[in-house]
A and B are shown apart, each in its own frame.
Chain A
Amino acid sequence: EAEVAQSPRYKITEKSQAVAFWCDPISGHATLYWYRQILGQGPELLVQFQDESVVDDSQLPKDRFSAERLKGVDSTLKIQPAELGDSAMYLCASSSLGQTGTGELFFGEGSRLTVL
């Protein structure tokens, strides 16, 4: 069964350090999402890609966060420098029907970040 792969599963870092998360969506899925989920809250969209293009990054803190999907396949989310408030689960999801609005999002297991 096809899955969304994410790494690392867990990351502990000190504030002001750089961190990076990687996501490999299900093959053929054109739409890729990065969500941040703070403990006890719902997922919040950080950035959405359609193929290699960013279609929504309105909630991405661009002074410290960056995301890319260079060949329209896998994606990297980077934080530099990390702050204490960045501690959260970072979820990647993909969809094959992103342009219709009806598509199921397939999620990876997430990357849990702890900033000390």
Chain B
Amino acid sequence: AQSVTQLGSHVSVSEGALVLLRCNYSSSVPPYLFWYVQYPNQGLQLLLKYTSAATLVKGINGFEAEFKKSETSFHLTKPSAHMSDAAEYFCAVSEAGGYQKVTFGTGTKLQVIP
């Protein structure tokens, strides 16, 4: 069964500082991995996805993530935090074959301090 674990339910960074949100996955087959962002009282929006092409994936709003098979990780980073990055971030996994079941992590709420 596929799953993701997000370390840290809350992360605080200063404006302009590095953002690092951690995600580890478990999958019996090569996974597809996603990061979604959710603003208050809204649905989720895709930031980026890994689908077995390049291991370093660039997404919207300056975010990127690196797929590391040896560490079963897919951490999300951004070099310089902006106030508008304050939101909740979800890592998700799906597997090839069959119908796409997407399993989400428990989320990390990012606070950006001015």
Contact surface of A with B, Cβ cutoff 8 Å? 4, 31, 33, 35, 40-45, 48, 50, 55-56, 91, 93, 95, 97-105, 107-110, 112
Contacts and interface: CB of A to CB of B under 8 A. Distances in A.
Interface residues of B, number: 27
Contacts of A50: 99
Contact of B100 (A4, A40, A99, A110): A99
B44 interface: yes
26 contacts: A31-B99, A31-B100, A35-B104, A40-B9, A43-B90, A45-B101, A56-B99, A91-B44, A97-B100, A99-B100, A100-B96, A100-B100, A101-B95, A101-B97, A101-B100, A102-B32, A102-B51, A102-B96, A102-B100, A103-B100, A104-B49, A105-B46, A107-B43, A109-B41, A110-B41, A110-B42
Interface in B21-70: 32, 34, 36, 41-46, 49, 51
Contacts of A103: 100
Contacts of A98: 99-100
Given A102-B32, A105-B44, A105-B102, 7 more contacts: A42-B107, A44-B104, A56-B99, A100-B100, A101-B98, A102-B94, A107-B44
Contacts, number: 73
Contact of A104 (B46, B95, B105): B46
A42 B100 contact: no
B49 A102 contact: yes
A42 B108 CA distance: 9
Interface of B (DSSP majority class): loop
Nearest to A9: B41
A99 B32 CA distance: 13
Contacts of B34: 104-105
Contacts of B107: 40-42
Contacts of A112: 41
B103 interface: yes
Closest 8 CB pairs of A and B: A107-B43, A42-B104, A102-B51, A101-B96, A55-B99, A98-B100, A101-B100, A42-B106
